[in-house]
Amino acid sequence: MCGVIGFSGVTPCVTSIFNGLKRLEYRGYDSSGIAVMADQRISVVKSKGKLNQLEPLLASLPADACVGMGHTRWATHGAPSTENAHPHSDEGISIIHNGILENYKELKIKLLEEGVSFLSETDSEVVVHLLRAELRLVHDVRKALLNVIGKLEGAYALGVMTQHEPGVIYVVKNASPIVLGIGHNENFFASDVLALLPHTNRFIFPEDGELARIVPDGVEVWDFFGKKLDKEIVSLNQEEARADKGGYRHYMLKEIHEQPAVLANTIERLVDLEAGEVRGELTGLCKLDLAAVRKIHIVACGTAFYAGLMGRYQIESFARLPVDCELASEFRYRNPCLDRSTLVIAVTQSGETADTLACIKHAKKAGCQTFALCNVLYSSVPRESDVTLYMEAGPEIGVASTKAFTSMVLNFFLMSLELARLRGVRSPEGMERALEALRILPNQVSSLMSLEARISELAGELFESGHCLFLGRGHFYPVALEGALKLKEISYIHAEGYAAGELKHGPIALIDKNMPVIAIINTCQDFEKTLSNLEEIHAREGQLIVVGQDKDRRLEDLCRYMIPCPVSPEPALQALLNVIPLQMFAYFMALHRGTDVDQPRNLAKSVTVE
């Protein structure tokens, strides 16, 4: 969940490291630090809080340092504080770490017994002391590091700098993401490609169990047994993504507004509207042995899981295959029945989510076919999967996922159509309706942007509420779940998403005049049934806000506020349209409450630990 970056070159690197950290700050932002080496001496600055707290300290670092590493933290062990911020250093050794060392307690106890004193409460600091002890014995940094690695259990991406080998950075990867960047007279490492794009588009992707030595004129890689590896250098034609806010007040708002373009691009790329066909080969589904598939498991976390729930409805209704959708953190420990007849689909914006990645590895071991729906090129989940469909939504920086979610939903929709074709169960009328819905979707999404003022006004009335309930049925149930997640993660208001049919089984007890209830209701699915749920809420004085179609007079009579959405001929795309006002609602509630929209407390964009 932390971001790591490092440079070994021949030109000053402090500013580049700091700028790289800014691009990685979405991974963690409770404290940060930089260590650089000049004249064979390591200098370190660290600070609690966001990177702007670190910035004033940079002037105290040697301006001519050409080798260094930076870290932005999401606390796992020990509170966010300057002491617990990385790098951790001692006697000419400095390390940064992303991951969790599961056996750090026993290692620490042993080191304490040997008289070592610790400066932080982190798990990571044990690496510094273990390495110092090893270096006294073997006087060779790489060998010493390999000996230390032999004692570590857990997940780690490590950057290591020592005065024993000035100019050299060692990088170790085990179950935490790391990429090596290849430049001219300078080489790099970072948690992701995005951080290094201003410097290079040539990368090496180390596997778990590998160690690299980075110097200005080269990069060498070994496995943990000391065997030298010949790693492929991959050139990515990825344009340097704009990491600024493009004039918007927040990344989240920018990303909400990018949705019409992202969805239009996806349709243009994956659908030949004139021919009336999905460009099937681009989905990658034809590369699977579909004849063998009897069942699909979708695995994901958070927002991606809700997109997966929507994918389940779509695949089952179009392609007539049984689909389960499960939280990755549950699936991986449940011992599900898996074999080659199971297709496991991992959905993930970042491609680095630890639980989702573990599911794909588990599924592969069990003999399943694996498919990734992902937004980040060359991230870990695609690299572990048999086939990947990249969403191409562009970088999503706001911690609250918006454009990635709608992009996942649209990609699932297109995948379902293609699966239906490949399985020979596609109906011509169904396809016609789907194409009609796709043709009008981008304009419909654009038109939703004009709801902003209305939704901001509603948030102005509700932002002091302590709770909020979201309800929906069928395709609109995951929309309710997603609306609730968005609200709680950025406004810190307690929110619950419920299937409307579950209301009477408990949550109706919560309804009184102080409970805002946001209902997602559309004529295309279970309208009358949801309407009677809304009657029940009205009868108990709940404050009803309706998101959906505004054509029915009965709704007007019941609700206090109506957020009208365009009508899609496809329930799945109707759900996609309905979620956008809920993203805006969460955004404006957060704005009114003065919370940190893009970097909400306790969260990080990429959850690389369990």
Taking the least distance from each CB to ligand AGP, the nearer of 210 and 352 is 352
CA atoms within 13 A on the CB side of 501: 9
Taking the least distance from each CB to ligand AGP, the nearer of 224 and 248 is 248
Taking the least distance from each CB to ligand AGP, the nearer of 107 and 376 is 376
As a whole number of angstroms, the distance between CA 48 and CA 81 comes to: 5
Q: Interface residues with ligand AGP (CB under 6 A)?
A: 301-304, 348-350, 353, 356, 399-401, 489, 606-607
User: Least CB distance from residue 175 to ligand AGP, whole Å?
Assistant: 15
User: Least CB distance from residue 107 to ligand AGP, whole Å?
Assistant: 29
CA atoms within 13 A on the CB side of 494: 4
User: Least CB distance from residue 285 to ligand AGP, whole Å?
Assistant: 20
Is 605 among the residues known to form the active site? yes
- The alpha carbon of 263 is separated from its chain's Cα centroid by a whole number of angstroms, namely 19
Give the active site residue among 48, 108, 173, 605.
605
User: Least CB distance from residue 604 to ligand AGP, whole Å?
Assistant: 8
User: Least CB distance from residue 495 to ligand AGP, whole Å?
Assistant: 13
What one-character-per-residue DSSP string does 221-248 give?
EEETTS-EE-PPPEEP-PPPPP-S-TT-
What one-character-per-residue DSSP string does 551-570 give?
--HHHHHH-SEEEE----SS
Please compute Rg for the chain using Cα positions: 25
As a whole number of angstroms, the distance between CA 132 and CA 437 comes to: 63
Let me know: does 521 contact 342? Beta carbons within 8 Å: no
Taking the least distance from each CB to ligand AGP, the nearer of 338 and 607 is 607
Taking the least distance from each CB to ligand AGP, the nearer of 107 and 576 is 576
User: Least CB distance from residue 167 to ligand AGP, whole Å?
Assistant: 35
- Closest-CA residue to 459 (of 499, 482, 493, 485): 493
- Give me the sheet containing 342-348, strands edge to edge: 323-327, 295-300, 342-348, 369-374, 387-390
Is 295 among the residues known to form the active site? no
Which residue pairs from 133-139 have beta carbons closer than 8 angstroms and sit at least 24 positions apart in sequence?
A: 135/93, 135/162, 135/164, 139/164
Taking the least distance from each CB to ligand AGP, the nearer of 141 and 345 is 345
As a whole number of angstroms, the distance between CA 12 and CA 355 comes to: 38
User: Least CB distance from residue 226 to ligand AGP, whole Å?
Assistant: 34
Bridge-partner residues for 214, per DSSP? 169, 219
Taking the least distance from each CB to ligand AGP, the nearer of 191 and 356 is 356
User: Least CB distance from residue 487 to ligand AGP, whole Å?
Assistant: 11
As a whole number of angstroms, the distance between CA 284 and CA 282 comes to: 5
Let me know: does 299 contact 306? Beta carbons within 8 Å: no
Q: Residue with CB nearest ligand AGP?
A: 302
Give the active site residue among 2, 66, 368, 559.
2
- Give me the sheet containing 41-48, strands edge to edge: 41-48, 31-38, 67-73, 3-9, 186-190, 179-182, 202-204, 234-235
As a whole number of angstroms, the distance between CA 249 and CA 594 comes to: 13
Taking the least distance from each CB to ligand AGP, the nearer of 172 and 487 is 487
Structure tokens at 340: 């080659």
As a whole number of angstroms, the distance between CA 1 and CA 610 comes to: 10
- Closest-CA residue to 171 (of 10, 5, 28, 335): 5
Could you give the residue numbers annotated as active site?
2, 605
